[in-house]
Amino acid sequence: MYGSEMGSGYKVCIPISNPESVQLPSLAPNRPNYHSKFLDSNPMISVPTFVIQIERVSSALPLSLLVLSLSFKIPKSPNPVSEFHFRTPSMATPSPREENVYVAKLAEQAERYEEMVEFMEKVVSSVPEGEEPTVEERNLLSVAYKNVIGARRASWRIVSSIEQKEESRGNSDHVATIKDYRARIENELSNICGGILKLLDSKLVPSANVGDSKVFYLKMKGDYHRYLAEFKTGNERKEAAENTLNAYKAAQDIANSELAPTHPIRLGLALNFSVFYYEILNSPDRACNLAKQAFDEAIAELDTLGEDSYKDSTLIMQLLRDNLTLWTSDMQDDGADEIKEAAPKPQAEQQHVQ
């Protein structure tokens, strides 16, 4: 027995030796939107074959509501009875891509983010040439990498803080040990950033076909170059900062022309771009100007914001305003470095670095 999908329903073909003994199933007698009919034996198969076509008369109900399985009782002899069960499309075996998405969600629930990254990389590699991942898939990829990199960034900040304290106390032996440990964390950070940046350059950015996905991936590219700039030194830091600036500017050009000021991806870009100006380029004036402009433009069109993105957009707007308040205060107090330990910035990145 085999089945095939059709535009109007589903076709089931059953090879049998005694056509007269087939008991046709009763298909959803209380659902007038569907009916079945006996077509004929199949001339393409040497043994007699019944073909039952489930046709959808109207699109009022999905085919999955018709039946969970069809049972065909076909006697092989006067006594024994064989029963064939056929799965409908709602019970179809998932594709490898769908399976990897599902397991990635399991890994997320189990907080096994390294494995989540592995499964989502498999998903990305399985996307056909010329196509791009779905919105769900790109968000899962972002969440996976965000958690993997976020844990190392937090570790680096803690270890760096301890290192500074030990240096101030003159504990040279401890400082040497801490430097070695910090180097291990930095190596992990470099590998993680290198992995997603390679994926972005080779697959995700070139395949992006619409405005929001282009901005999403270019913003993501800028984010991970920025993470490199956080701990790199010398020419490596300069290169990472230049790559960050180029990616953010490319994303900004597309966002300003194709996305509404209230779009959460455009707002998230403005949030992270302004953090880059403040922390990496040490330019509080540009950081404040960018954040204020994004906030004011979104406020002006707040009444056009749809319910589906209202929560995300207003949350990012609040984070923009919090950063503006903090940065303005720091500039007045000449305490620019305090932003690195401030709550709004890590929270902003945790929620919206995608």
- Of the three residues 225, 251, 277, the one that is the final residue of a domain is 251
Q: How do residues 186-220 score in pLDDT, each as one tens digit?
A: 999 999 999 999 999 999 999 999 899 999 999 99
Q: Do 226 and 147 reside in the same domain of the chain?
A: yes
Pair (97, 87) in one structural domain = no
Pairing mode, if any, of strands 2-6 and 9-15? antiparallel
Largest CA distance in the chain: 96
Pairing of strands 69-75, 49-56: unpaired
* Predicted local distance difference test score (pLDDT) of residue 354: 35
pLDDT digits (tens, 9 = 90+) for 258-284: 999 999 999 999 999 999 999 999 999
Rounded CA gap, 65 and 60, in Å? Answer: 11
d(CA 247, CA 262): 21
pLDDT of the residue at 9:
43
171: tokens are: 């504990």
Asked whether residue 86 falls in the same domain as residue 97, the answer is no
pLDDT score for 56: 40
CATH number at 281 reads 1.20.190.20
**Domain termination residue (choose one: 204, 226, 251):** 251
pLDDT of residue 195: 97
Decide which of 91, 125, 141 is a domain's last residue.
91
Q: In terms of residue numbers, what domain contains 78?
A: 2-91
Residue 82: phi and psi, rounded to 5, are -100, 145
- pLDDT attached to residue 8: 41
Q: Which of 233, 235, 256, 244 is nearest to 283 (CA)?
A: 244
Rounded Cα gap, residues 296 and 304, in angstroms: 14
Total tally of structural domains belonging to the chain: 3
The beta strand positions in the chain, using DSSP E, are: 2-6, 9-15, 34-41, 49-56, 69-75, 81-87
Same domain, 333 and 295: yes
- The per-residue pLDDT for 350 is 37
Whether residues 124 and 205 share a domain: the answer is: yes
For residue 349, the model assigns a pLDDT of 45
pLDDT in tens, the chain (354 residues): 434 444 444 444 444 444 444 444 444 444 444 334 444 444 333 434 444 444 443 333 343 333 333 333 434 444 443 343 444 445 568 899 999 999 999 999 999 999 999 999 999 999 998 899 999 999 999 999 999 999 999 999 999 999 999 999 998 999 999 999 999 999 999 999 999 999 999 999 999 998 999 999 999 999 999 999 999 999 999 999 999 999 999 999 999 999 999 999 999 999 999 999 999 999 999 999 999 999 999 999 888 887 778 889 999 999 999 999 999 987 776 554 444 322 233 334 434 333
- Count helices and strands (H / E) in the chain: 11, 6
Q: Are 75 and 14 found together in one domain?
A: yes
Whether the model clears a pTM of 0.85, i.e. scores above it, the answer is no
Instruction: Centre a 10 Å sphere on the Cβ of residue 205 and count the other Cβ atoms it contains.
Output: 19
Residues 271 and 331 in one domain: yes
Query: Do 340 and 222 belong together in one domain?
Result: no
Mean model confidence pLDDT for the chain: 78
181, 306: one domain? no
* 115 and 80 fall within a common domain: no
- Domain shared by 134 and 232, yes or no: yes
Please state, as a whole number, how many other Cβ atoms lie within 10 Å of the Cβ of residue 19: 14
State residue 345's pLDDT score.
36
The pLDDT value given to residue 91: 52
Q: Say which amino acid occupies 72.
A: F
Q: Are 1 and 16 in contact (CB under 8 A)?
A: no
- Residue 86: the pLDDT is 40
Q: What is the pLDDT of residue 131?
A: 92
Q: What angle do CA 307, 111, 204 make, to 5 degrees?
A: 60
Do 237 and 110 sit in the same domain of this protein?
A: yes
